[in-house]
Structure 1
Amino acid sequence: MTDDEMPEGEEVRLFAVPINDGFAREAAETLRGYRELAEKAIKEGEPSNPASPFAAEVNWLEAAPNPVGSARISFHRMLLDIAGMSWDTALDHVRALEHDIVRKPPPVWSPLVMARAVLESCLFFEYLFEPSISGALRLARCAGLWRKDAGHFANFASVLDSEREEAAVELEAYVTTTLDECNVVARHSASGRITGYMVDGEVADLDYNITMRARNSLPSWLPMPYGLLSGAAHGRPWLTHRGLDLGKETGGVAGEAATVMAALMVVMASLEMGLKAWQDYFGLDLADDLVELEQYRKLMSLRLMGFAHATE
């Protein structure tokens, strides 16, 4: 991605002060509270709304003649499982961030790296559960991601041992067989390389552009943050020098309250994005939960500002 490491511009730096103990404790507690509200929301209600995209897809799959229909039902179940795993992965990184905020010495750029991990897991989740697309396109997207993952596993196995390489070859064969059974058609470049998949006329690439996905899918209240997060993850000087500037008085590198706040906002936006996709795909009513999360988020900034600028 050509713009993966470019600065995106910054908000007014109201938290441009070093991290103090009180702010760190309150920020970690604030994040924990938001995570618990999001966990509660996603567990509420059963995905059985007959008017939901999920129910429509189940009906579509069950109406398909066998053996393709039964193969696609199994493939769709796998899609649900891996999307759910992405949500669990996002929450795992949120918990890690809660602990990172209060560590000694205070973190400098690690909160942004953890926030990026949360964002990417939630984008994966939202990509598969996007409610406005057809069931055929959803299967095509999952096929592309699965094939891409099989390739990553093969690359990983090549640096380990022959047993892992054999497992990678078996996985590639299993992916090919399963997709053939589902009548998921591979699309190729002129050189013969697989570029994506087609299901009943719906086409998806092997993967998605994370930067574009973040720009188009995150809530409008959050400026597009991916360049900021990438600058921290890749250790780019345009971003990392800020820690040196702030630490000049102590002769070291200082963590900044603004960095923690940016991480919190990215995490909250990512979880909100995931919850809305979950709600709309399964036809749930999470309106009260989403309002509670919004109110929590708006109060959070004002409350934490006082702790960040406290003199004791």
Structure 2
Amino acid sequence: MGVSVANILAADVTADIGGLVAAVRPSDTLLAVGSLVNGLGSSSTELDLLLLGSGVPNMGVSATVASMSSSFYRTGSGRAVKVRFCSDEELYRIARTVDHFGQALIEPSAWANLPHLEEPAQVLLHEVRNGIVLTNASIAQSWRETLRVDQFHLYVATLSLLRYAARRRNVLQQMQDGDAENAEWMLLECLEAILAGALAAAGETNPRRRWHLRLARRLDAGFQEAGVARVIEMIRTRASADTGEAVAVGLSVADELRDHLLRRCPQLSMLAAPSTVTAGE
């Protein structure tokens, strides 16, 4: 399984799942993924494995990304292991959407009606990008290239920026209508969206918001200084005696982080100004 795997997964874990790894067909690839691998899990977190391959795998698991079936195993030591499967056919469908985004980076007209990947597909791309390859590394690398996971952080940043812009308009409209309290409530979604964008720009592509606070703590000092810490503090302590002022300050801090994000990802410069680009929200 390689030295790099042993460095990240404890030796007893890699030995424990050796039988599962050995059962993988030569045409498939198996990756260790999930919160246990990326350091976000707890002592009770099960090990997540992702199997990519053609047809239905030997253990009888079949799924689409939209509703991924999984098999649960107990190893000899009693360790809980969850194995999910994604077929070549589904991966190629995702690749077509990813290709459209890749075209948009070089052809502005492709931004019109930018296709949206639902969260399960985003999770899959995140796992393919960051998972630890347990077997058949060349196949895993081929999928990483086909799915353009090297650009996935730009895709996540784009969706976050578009979501931020839409929520920001909502906040301003509520302020214009004289509903400062509801504007402050909506501000929370603005802050969460721009934080997700900041994480993506820094290479953290996990789409599950429940982990964003912990992931944000890992960002480099430059991003912390750019406003990440202030955005987090505003999310944690949203209430304010002066609601209108809180909204104005919140948008100002979020805009500062947005601008820093765009400087870090110049490929997305077309999102610096109001745009007609749309994507699913």
TM-score relative to the length of structure 2? 0.26
Q: More strand per residue: 1 or 2?
A: 2
> Higher relative contact order by CA 8 Å / sep ≥ 6: 1 or 2?
1
